[in-house]
């Protein structure tokens, strides 16, 4: 994890640093995840694997490990269940179901929506479980199951913290009244108590809004992706009043999405946190560049996906999607004849009686850089002449593509190892105005991910709103599938 992801104005997404838990055998799949164009359904049941009988000692150990793991890994609300009364056959079914849930998630293929373009890799827990029973290494097998990333481990700690808060009674809602620096009284005391629940550096006593409390308010605003002005207004009160149970549900939804990632990530990769509207570039496990982004507004969601950037288009024209042309541009031309020409749009005949729009590179909404990667959603990363959007804290405003704050810096980094596309050559093409595709010597993986909860190594969690309601959808689907499988293990 980045050491201080919650203290920066632009909170970076969680760093996917592999951890090294003990393993009985290598993960079932180590290949790169297929892009959405080749997404396959979730695997069907594999041929039966002969599993040795559990000894009494192994059955007791396994029951304890799974019961604790269900709670710690966010598979179960409430206290651990008693699995010691299950028959060996029933306990084996529970173990296999637990392994699948922790390793690749609990959803079935039908549960994934179109915009959730990432799918977990095929995984059959039976061979690993059988080997663990034979070698009497059940504890190591259980430890090898969760995603091997520090970002996931941090959420496990965060989940434990928020469950402890819930067990202590959670927090009371603050009144809907602005609280300013210098204020005093019961409202300030209530604010202190609320902030102290999540921030151990805050004193829960005292009724004055002093410098220490001002710093604490700003820390909280950064954790929640708000403008850290220090004034406790409507937005700040709204996020602080979200019940602890909802925050727990949000953490669990994000833990589930971690399970969809491959067990091994490419060393060089670009990662976009859609919900936080931030792009981060990684070299190995180290973040080497971060910038603000603008991602899709609700209704024009930026999809989750993984693909590979192989080229950058310099001075790209904009081939306008028909949905944007029909809803926005043709009506503007009708209301104000000549608008399209003045804005640099060409009307192109498709040859079948229909027309499409293309905006020239000189005035293109894509700016000077377009980072292409194959996907089923026609989205990409690109420059934009509309720089004012990056000064906002709510940056979900695009039609689904990802606009970049510093595209020239990203292009220079990604073309660094391409001899024919050094800065001098790139600048010459940009100055010419010609549209040219610069192929990269080293392709770079790109991940578009939806993180609304991420934590530092101490388990302190930063939250973002759930702008697409994907957390809520996922939590509902998880709970339904979990109930089905819990019933199946009883049958």
Checking if the pLDDT of 39 tops 70, the result is no
Give the integer Cα–Cα distance in Å for 328 and 455. 40
With beta carbons less than 8 A apart as the criterion, state whether 66 and 98 touch: yes
Q: What is the pLDDT of residues 166-215, one digit of tens each?
A: 999 999 999 999 999 999 999 999 999 999 999 999 999 999 999 999 99
Mean pLDDT of 267-276: 96
Mean pLDDT of 472-476: 93
Give the integer Cα–Cα distance in Å for 128 and 228. 48
Predicted pLDDT at 24? 33
Q: According to CATH, where is 1.10.101.10 located in the chain? A: 171-242
Checking if the pLDDT of 41 tops 50, the result is no
**Quick one: pLDDT band at residue 74, thresholds 50, 70, 90?**
very high
Two tokens, residue 228: 């850290």
Q: What is the pLDDT of residues 113-171, one digit of tens each?
A: 999 999 999 999 999 999 999 999 999 999 999 999 999 999 999 999 999 999 999 99
DSSP strand pairing (436-449 vs 305-314)? antiparallel
Helices (H) and strands (E) in the chain, counts: 15, 14
With beta carbons less than 8 A apart as the criterion, state whether 280 and 290 touch: yes
Average pLDDT of every residue of the chain: 86
Total-model pTM: 0.82
Predicted pLDDT at 386? 81
3-state secondary structure (DSSP) of residue 301: coil
User: Which range is most confident: 36-50, 176-190, 357-371?
Assistant: 176-190
Checking if the pLDDT of 409 tops 90, the result is yes
**Quick one: pLDDT band at residue 20, thresholds 50, 70, 90?**
very low
Checking if the pLDDT of 220 tops 90, the result is yes
DSSP secondary structure code for residue 158 in this structure: H
Checking if the pLDDT of 292 tops 80, the result is yes
With beta carbons less than 8 A apart as the criterion, state whether 230 and 211 touch: no
The full DSSP string for 67-80 is HHHHHHTTS-SSSP
Predicted pLDDT at 319? 67
Give the integer Cα–Cα distance in Å for 438 and 197. 51
Which residues pair with residue 463 across a beta bridge? 453
CB count, 10 Å around CB of 388?
8
| Residue 301 Ramachandran class (φ > 0 left, ψ -120 to 50 alpha, else beta) | beta
Give the integer Cα–Cα distance in Å for 42 and 194. 43
Checking if the pLDDT of 13 tops 50, the result is no
CA distance to 129, 326, 355, per residue, from 341 (Å): 66, 16, 15
Checking if the pLDDT of 470 tops 70, the result is yes
Two tokens, residue 366: 């894509």
Long-range contacts of 231-240 (CB under 8 A, 24+ apart): 231/178, 231/179, 231/180, 231/181, 232/174, 232/178, 232/179, 232/180, 232/191, 233/178, 234/176, 234/178, 237/174, 237/175, 237/176, 239/463, 239/465, 240/171, 240/174, 240/194, 240/195
Predicted pLDDT at 334? 76
Q: Which of 7, 15, 4 has its CA nearest to residue 151?
A: 15
Predicted pLDDT at 10? 38
DSSP strand pairing (396-398 vs 381-382)? unpaired
More confident residue, 235 or 77: 235
Poorest-pLDDT segment among 8-22, 210-224, 422-436, 451-465: 8-22
With beta carbons less than 8 A apart as the criterion, state whether 324 and 308 touch: no
Give the Cα-Cα-Cα angle 474, 148, 51 (nearest 5 degrees).
85
- What residues contact 291, with CB distance under 8 A and at least 6 apart? 10, 278, 279, 404, 405, 406, 409, 410
CATH number for the domain formed by residue range(s) 171-242: 1.10.101.10
Which residues pair with residue 382 across a beta bridge? 370, 403
**Quick one: pLDDT band at residue 101, thresholds 50, 70, 90?**
very high
The full DSSP string for 378-419 is ---EE--S-GGGGG-S--EEESSSEEES-HHHHHHHHTTT-G
């Amino acid at each position: 994890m980045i050491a201080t992801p919650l203290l920066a104005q632009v909170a970076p997404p969680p760093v996917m640093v592999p951890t090294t838990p003990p393993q009985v055998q290598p993960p079932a799949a180590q290949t790169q995840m297929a892009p959405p164009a080749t997404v396959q359904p979730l695997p069907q049941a594999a041929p039966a694997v002969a599993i040795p009988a559990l000894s009494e000692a192994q059955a007791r150990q396994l029951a304890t490990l799974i019961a604790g793991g269900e709670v710690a890994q966010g598979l179960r609300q409430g206290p651990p269940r008693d699995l010691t009364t299950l028959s060996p056959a029933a306990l084996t079914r529970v173990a296999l179901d637990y392994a699948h849930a922790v390793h690749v998630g609990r959803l079935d293929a039908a549960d994934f929506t179109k915009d959730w373009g990432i799918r977990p890799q095929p995984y059959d827990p039976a061979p690993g479980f059988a080997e663990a029973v034979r070698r009497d290494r059940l504890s190591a097998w259980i430890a090898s199951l969760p995603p091997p990333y520090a970002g996931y481990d941090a959420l496990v700690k965060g989940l434990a913290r928020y469950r402890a808060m819930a067990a202590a009674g959670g927090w009371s809602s603050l009144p809907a009244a602005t609280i300013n620096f210098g204020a005093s009284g019961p409202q300030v005391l209530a604010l202190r108590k609320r902030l102290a629940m999540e921030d151990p550096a805050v004193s829960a006593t005292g009724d004055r809004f002093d410098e220490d409390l001002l710093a604490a308010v700003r820390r909280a605003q950064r954790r929640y992706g708000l403008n850290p002005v220090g004034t406790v207004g409507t937005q700040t009160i709204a996020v602080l009043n979200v019940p602890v149970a909802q925050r727990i549900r949000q953490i669990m939804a994000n833990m589930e999405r971690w399970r969809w990632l491959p067990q091994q990530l490419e060393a060089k990769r670009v990662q976009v946190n859609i919900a936080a509207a931030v792009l981060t570039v990684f070299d190995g496990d180290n973040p080497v560049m971060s910038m603000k982004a603008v991602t899709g507004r609700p209704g024009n969601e930026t999809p989750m996906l993984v693909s590979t950037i192989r080229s950058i288009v310099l001075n790209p024209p904009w081939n306008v999607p028909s949905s944007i042309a029909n809803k926005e541009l043709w009506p503007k031309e009708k209301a104000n004849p000549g608008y399209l020409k003045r804005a640099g749009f060409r009307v192109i005949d498709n040859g079948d009686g229909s027309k499409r729009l293309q905006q020239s590179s000189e005035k293109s909404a894509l700016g000077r850089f377009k980072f292409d990667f194959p996907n089923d959603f026609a989205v990409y990363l690109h420059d934009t002449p509309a720089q004012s959007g990056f000064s906002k804290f709510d940056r979900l405003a695009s039609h689904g593509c990802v606009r970049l704050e510093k595209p020239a810096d990203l292009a220079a980094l990604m073309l660094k190892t391409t001899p024919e596309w050094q800065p001098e050559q790139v600048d010459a093409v940009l100055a010419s105005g010609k549209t040219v595709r610069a192929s990269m010597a080293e392709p770079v993986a790109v991940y578009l991910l939806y993180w609304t909860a991420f934590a530092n190594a101490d388990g302190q969690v930063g939250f973002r709103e759930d702008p697409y309601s994907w957390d809520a959808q996922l939590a509902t689907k998880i709970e339904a599938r979990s109930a089905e499988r819990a019933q199946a293990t009883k049958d």
